[in-house]
Amino acid sequence: MPLSIKNLPKEEILLQPGHAACPGCPIGIGLRIVGKVLGKRTVIVVPACCTSIIQGPYPYSAIKVPLVNVIFAASAAVASGIASAFEAMGVRDVNVVVWAGDGGTADIGLQALSGAAERNDNIIYICYDNEAYMNTGIQRSSSTPYKAWTTTTVTGKQEFKKNVPAIVAQHRIPYVATASIGYPLDFAEKLQKASKIKGFKYIHLLAPCPVGWRFDPSLTIEVGKLAVLTGLWPLYEVENGVFRLTSISLGLLDKSRRVPVEKYLRLQGRFKHITDEDIKVYEEYVDQLWEVLRKLHGKKIV
Ligand SMILES: Cc1ncc(C[n+]2csc(CCOP(=O)(O)OP(=O)(O)O)c2C)c(N)n1
Ligand SMILES: [Mg+2]
């Protein structure tokens, strides 16, 4: 049966109400979906990030499954150890999940992530990407996009966003996917698929942050949708090396169906200062990206 909101459990399996997230925070939405899809037999590994605060200090944790809070650089390595221990004990029905921010994934955790991916360790690694070090006060990461304001890029970041899912895909692991908080069911389907595959699974979840991106907390889902509909954040899977745009993005191969990037950028205060010239750079970037995606769709790429 295809997933729908109706056949996801009503019960909150992972995150209890009363947690410490900011209004409109995408982390709560994402974690709730993880719980509803993966169920109670799940262990979560969280490095230093906003989630460490949201989960709450022991014994007041808002999380209902076993959760290990680890040092910033080590989440994939710790998850590998937990998965190996379950394997040694003959326990086969537990999902070991990393839930890490973009700083903990694209920057400081990249070597541990690469090691676990190369060994094809049996874990699901989810990077929730809010495109900066939000927990410590909105500093740039390598996942911050071009021209975005952060407290360490006050005139806008000069570099483009690091393409982590593409880097991870090059490890020849069985499953890589992108997702957006704007499309929770697409994320849920990818999680469900990942849970049925043995080996290393990676999902890169775009997670718009109202505080750091400077938009109204009621707009989290809308911003997450626009990232996809403008073509800036394509939704795809790489399954056993075969690249496939997933349904929402497939229609966007037709340029006339893509929303102008400006609409996405202008909704967010972090892009308040951008010029028409910057918007042109973004438009050209999206056009080039989609020429590449057109060639990749349906092909074995690793
Ligand atoms: C080795 C080390 N350096 C710095 C920190 C401080 N620190 C804690 S959370 C954090 C930011 C995490 O950013 P990200 O991974 O993107 O998660 P987010 O806060 O955005 O959810 C930093 C720099 C730390 N805990 N350990
Ligand atoms: Mg972050």
> Tens digit of pLDDT for each residue in 202-240?
999 999 999 999 999 999 999 999 999 999 999 999 999
CATH of domain 8-296: 3.40.50.970
User: For residue 2, what pLDDT band results from cuts at 50, 70 and 90?
Assistant: confident
Mutate to test the pocket of ligand 1, among 25, 49, 125 (most ligand atoms within 8 A of CB): 49
Whether 208 is in the pocket of ligand 1, judged by its Cβ within 6 Å, is no
Whether 98 is in the pocket of ligand 1, judged by its Cβ within 6 Å, is no
Rounded to whole angstroms, the Cα distance separating 175 from 201 reads: 5
Whole-number average pLDDT of the chain: 97
Whether 69 is in the pocket of ligand 1, judged by its Cβ within 6 Å, is no
Residue of minimum CA distance from atom 1 in ligand 1: 72
Q: Which atom of ligand 1 sits closest to the CA of residue 133?
A: 13
Whether 141 is in the pocket of ligand 1, judged by its Cβ within 6 Å, is yes
Boundaries of every domain in the chain = 8-296
Counting residues of the chain whose pLDDT is more than 70, the rounded percentage is 100
Count of beta carbons in the 10 Å neighbourhood of residue 299: 10
Tokens for 70, please give them: 């680890």
| Average pLDDT value for residue range 258-268 | 98
Rounded to whole angstroms, the Cα distance separating 188 from 35 reads: 10
pLDDT at 257 over 80: yes
What is the pLDDT, as a whole number, of residue 150?
Answer: 99
Mutate to test the pocket of ligand 1, among 22, 31, 75, 135 (most ligand atoms within 8 A of CB): 135
Residue of minimum CA distance from atom 11 in ligand 1: 133
Which of 72, 149, 75, 77 lies closest to 108, judged by CA?
72
pLDDT at 12 over 90: yes
pLDDT at 53 over 80: yes
How many Å lie between the centroid of ligand 2 and the Cα of residue 2? 31
SS3 for the chain is CCCCHHHCCCCCCCECCCCCCCCCCHHHHHHHHHHHHHCCCEEEEEECCHHHHHCCCCCCCCECCCEEEECCCCHHHHHHHHHHHHHHHCCCCCEEEEEEECHHHHHCCHHHHHHHHHCCCCCEEEEEECCCECCCCCECCCCCCCCCCECCECCCCCCCCCCHHHHHHCCCCCEEEEEECCCHHHHHHHHHHHHCCCCCEEEEEECCCHHHHCCCHHHHHHHHHHHHHCCCCCCEEEECCEEEECHHHHHHHCHHHCCCHHHHHHCCHHHCCCCHHHHHHHHHHHHHHHHHHHHHCCCECC
pLDDT at 146 over 80: yes
Mutate to test the pocket of ligand 1, among 136, 139, 181, 209 (most ligand atoms within 8 A of CB): 136
User: For residue 94, what pLDDT band results from cuts at 50, 70 and 90?
Assistant: very high
Tokens 């230093």 correspond to 48
| Average pLDDT value for residue range 101-114 | 98
Neighbours of ion ligand 2 (CB under 5 A): 101-102, 130, 134
Q: Which atom of ligand 1 sits closest to the CA of residue 108?
A: 1
Q: Which atom of ligand 1 sits closest to the CA of residue 50?
A: 21
Q: Which atom of ligand 1 sits closest to the CA of residue 128?
A: 21
pTM, two decimals, is 0.98
Lowest-confidence segment of 55-59, 141-145, 167-171, 208-212 by average pLDDT: 55-59
